[in-house]
Amino acid sequence: MIGDALPASAGRWDAPPRQPVDWKIVPVGLVAVIASFLLSVVIAEFTLGAWD
């Protein structure tokens, strides 16, 4: 039969095996959050006219 020639996972969305968590994402995430905060503070300061 045709079905016998297909692998058992044909047509299914099987997830690949999980990779270990790369811990470099933690410092990169912290830097991104801090940079975003500092940029928003600078924009707010200029918008509110604190640096005249």
pLDDT in tens, 20-37: 767 788 899 999 999 999
45 and 51 Cβ atoms separated by less than 8 Å: yes
DSSP string covering the chain? --GGGS-TTTTS-PPPPPPPP-TTHHHHHHHHHHHHHHHHHHHHHHHHT---
When pLDDT is cut at 50, 70 and 90, the band that residue 11 belongs to is low
pTM for this predicted structure: 0.51
> How close are the terminal C-alpha atoms of the chain, in Å?
81
Domain range annotation of the chain? 23-52
User: CA-CA distance, 48 to 7, in Å (whole number)?
Assistant: 64
- pLDDT for the residue 13: 62
